[in-house]
Amino acid sequence: MKHYDCKFYLATDVFKGMCKRDKTSINADDNSCQNFEKAQKCRHCLNFSYTSEDLGTCMGRYDAYPEMNAVTCKEFTT
Amino acid sequence: MAEDIYNYYGTKPREEVQAREAKKNPTPRVEKARQIYFDTKSSASMEFPYWYTRRWEELEGDVPIIRRAEALKSGFSHLTPYILPGELLAMRKAVYLRGSFPMPWLSEAFFLSKEDDLYKEAQKAGKASADEVTTMGQGGGNVTKSIGNIISIAGKFGLRKEEMPVLIKTAKKWYNKSVEDVGHKYEQLVPGYGTKEEIMRAVICMFDSGYTLPQGREVINYYYPLQYGIEGIKNICKEKQDQSAGYPDMERLYFYKAVYTMLEGLQNWIMNYAAEARFMASLENEANQKDEFTDIAERLEWLSSEKPRTFHDALQLVWIFHVAVLNEDAISGLSPGRLGQVLYPFWKQDMDKGIITKERTTELLECMRMKFTELDCFASMGVVGGVLSGNTFNNLCIGGLDKDGESAANELEMLILESAMSCDTPQPTLSLLFDEKLSEEFLLKGIECTKIGTGYPAWISNRVAMDFLMKNFRNEGMHLEEARAWSIGGCLETSPGCWMPLDLEGEKWFIPGGSAPATSVGVHFISLPKVLEAVLFDGLDKRTGIRVYPAHGLKLETYEEIWTTFKAYFSRTVELLTLTNNIQHSIWGKVSPSIINSMLKPDCLETGKDISNKGCRYNRTFNVEICGGVNLVNSLASIKKNVFEEKSITLSELKSAIESNFGYHSALESGSYSLIDQVKTEHYRDWLKIHKLCLDAPKYGNDDRYVDSIFREWQVWFSNMCENYRSIYDHPLYSCQISVSTHAPMGAVTLATPDGRLCGTTFADGSVSAYPGTDRNGPYALFNSATCYDHSQSQNSQLNMKIHPSVVMGREGSRKFLEMIKAYLRKGAFHVQFNVVDSRMLRDAQMHPEQYRGLMVRVAGFTQYWVELGKQIQDEVIARTEYEQLG
pLDDT in tens, B52-83: 999 999 999 999 999 999 999 999 999 999 99
- pLDDT single digits (tens) B344-364: 999 999 999 999 999 999 999
Class of the A40-78 domain?
Answer: mainly beta
Q: A20 vs B280: CB contact, 8 Å cut-off?
A: yes
Mean pLDDT for the stretch of residues B562-571 = 98
Q: B148 vs A29: CB contact, 8 Å cut-off?
A: yes
Mean pLDDT for the stretch of residues B167-186 = 95
- Whether B327 is covered by a domain: the verdict is no
Alpha carbon distance B43, B376 (integer Å): 9
Q: Which residues from chain A sit within 8 angstroms of residue B370, using beta carbons?
A: none
Alpha carbon distance B186, B177 (integer Å): 12
Q: What is A1-39's CATH number?
A: 2.20.70.100
Note whether A38 and A47 are within 8 A (CB): no
pLDDT at residue B133 tops 70: no
Whole-number pLDDT of residue B859? 87
Report how many domains make up chain B: 2
Q: How confident is the model at residue B136 (pLDDT cuts 50, 70, 90)?
A: low
Does the model's ipTM exceed the 0.85 cut? Answer: yes
Is some CB atom of chain B closer than 8 A to the CB atom of A66?
A: yes
Alpha carbon distance B377, B356 (integer Å): 34
Q: How confident is the model at residue B11 (pLDDT cuts 50, 70, 90)?
A: very low
Q: Which residues from chain B sit within 8 angstroms of residue A24, using beta carbons?
A: none
Whole-number pLDDT of residue B862? 87
In terms of phi and psi (left: phi > 0; alpha: psi -120 to 50; beta: otherwise), the region of B154 is left
Whole-number pLDDT of residue B380? 76
Alpha carbon distance B646, B263 (integer Å): 69
H or E segment and range at residue B354: none
Q: B163 vs A67: CB contact, 8 Å cut-off?
A: yes
H or E segment and range at residue B561: helix B559-591
Q: Which residues from chain A sit within 8 angstroms of residue B378, using beta carbons?
A: none
Alpha carbon distance B785, B329 (integer Å): 40
Mean pLDDT for the stretch of residues B279-306 = 98
H or E segment and range at residue B867: none
Is some CB atom of chain B closer than 8 A to the CB atom of A54?
A: yes
Q: How confident is the model at residue B884 (pLDDT cuts 50, 70, 90)?
A: confident
Q: Write the DSSP assignment of B160-228 as a string of letters.
A: EGGGHHHHHHHHHHTTTTSHHHHHHHHHTTSTTHHHHHHHHHTTSB---STTTS-EEEEE---HHHHHH
- Whether B535 is covered by a domain: the verdict is yes
Nearest chain B alpha carbon to A4: B160
* Strand pairing report for B331-335 and B215-219: parallel
The residue type found at B562 is: I
Q: B162 vs A55: CB contact, 8 Å cut-off?
A: no
pLDDT at residue B120 tops 80: no
- Minimum mean pLDDT range among B20-29, B37-46, B290-299, B420-429: B20-29
Whole-number pLDDT of residue B382? 73
Alpha carbon distance B869, B235 (integer Å): 46
A45-A50-A53 Cα angle (round to 5): 120
- pLDDT single digits (tens) A1-53: 899 999 999 999 999 999 999 999 999 999 999 999 999 999 999 999 999 99
- Minimum mean pLDDT range among B20-24, B503-507, B659-663, B670-674: B20-24
Which structural domain, as residue segments, surrounds residue B53? 37-199
Q: Which residues from chain B sit within 8 angstroms of residue A15, using beta carbons?
A: 41, 150, 158
Give B163-176 as a 3 state SS string. Answer: HHHHHHHHHHHCCC
> Would the CATH topology of A1-39 be identical to that of A40-78?
yes
Q: Which residues from chain A sit within 8 angstroms of residue B166, using beta carbons?
A: 54-55, 63, 65, 68
Nearest chain B alpha carbon to A69: B80
Q: Which of B75, B25, B86 is nearest to B371 (CA)?
A: B86
Asked which of B161, B177, B199 is the last residue of a domain, the reply is B199
Q: B78 vs A62: CB contact, 8 Å cut-off?
A: no
Whole-number pLDDT of residue B15? 57
- To the nearest whole angstrom, how far is the Cα of B415 from the nearest Cα of chain A? 29
Q: B43 vs A63: CB contact, 8 Å cut-off?
A: no
Is some CB atom of chain B closer than 8 A to the CB atom of A69?
A: yes
Q: How confident is the model at residue B739 (pLDDT cuts 50, 70, 90)?
A: confident
Active site residues of B: 491, 493
Is some CB atom of chain B closer than 8 A to the CB atom of A59?
A: no
pLDDT at residue B251 tops 80: yes
CB-based burial, B735-750: b 16+ in 10 Å, e otherwise: bbbbbbbbbbbbbbbb
**Most B-contacting residue of A72, A73, A74 (CB-CB within 10 A), to test interface:** A72
Alpha carbon distance B569, B554 (integer Å): 13
Whole-number pLDDT of residue B839? 87
Alpha carbon distance B214, B90 (integer Å): 27
Whole-number pLDDT of residue B4? 36
Q: B80 vs A13: CB contact, 8 Å cut-off?
A: no
Domain ranges of chain A: 1-39, 40-78
H or E segment and range at residue B441: helix B440-449
B297-B299-B304 Cα angle (round to 5): 95
pLDDT at residue B114 tops 80: no
Whole-number pLDDT of residue B379? 82
Please state whether the peptide bond connecting residue B291 to the residue before it is cis, i.e. omega within 30 degrees of 0: no
Is some CB atom of chain B closer than 8 A to the CB atom of A8?
A: yes
Asked which of B176, B199, B222 is the last residue of a domain, the reply is B199
Whole-number pLDDT of residue B511? 98
Residues 6+ apart with CB under 8 A from B714: B629, B632, B633, B636
Whole-number pLDDT of residue B386? 67
Q: In what order do the strands lie in the sheet with B458-461?
A: B395-399, B429-434, B458-461, B831-836, B800-803, B882-883
Of B41, B149, B283, the CB nearest to A13: B41
Note whether B397 and B488 are within 8 A (CB): yes
Note whether B234 and B263 are within 8 A (CB): yes
Whole-number pLDDT of residue B8? 29
- Whether B584 is covered by a domain: the verdict is yes
Note whether B368 and B847 are within 8 A (CB): no
Please state whether the peptide bond connecting residue B457 to the residue before it is cis, i.e. omega within 30 degrees of 0: yes
Asked which of B767, B802, B819 is the last residue of a domain, the reply is B767
As a whole-number percent, the residues of chain B with pLDDT over 90 amount to 84
Q: Write the DSSP assignment of B462-519 as a string of letters.
A: HHHHHHHHHHHHGGGT--HHHHTT-EEETTTEEE-EEEEEEEETTEEEEEEEE-S---
Alpha carbon distance B157, B147 (integer Å): 12
User: Chain-wide mean pLDDT for chain B?
Assistant: 93
More confident residue, B471 or B16: B471
More confident residue, B152 or B751: B751
- pLDDT single digits (tens) B796-836: 999 999 999 999 999 999 999 999 999 999 999 999 999 99
- pLDDT single digits (tens) B426-478: 999 999 999 999 999 999 999 999 999 999 999 999 999 999 999 999 999 99
pLDDT at residue B708 tops 90: yes
Q: B41 vs A10: CB contact, 8 Å cut-off?
A: no
Whole-Å CA distances, B856 to A36, B95, B271, B769: 41, 27, 37, 20
Alpha carbon distance B251, B263 (integer Å): 18
Q: How confident is the model at residue B119 (pLDDT cuts 50, 70, 90)?
A: low
pTM given for the model? 0.95
- Whether B876 is covered by a domain: the verdict is no
pLDDT at residue B641 tops 50: yes
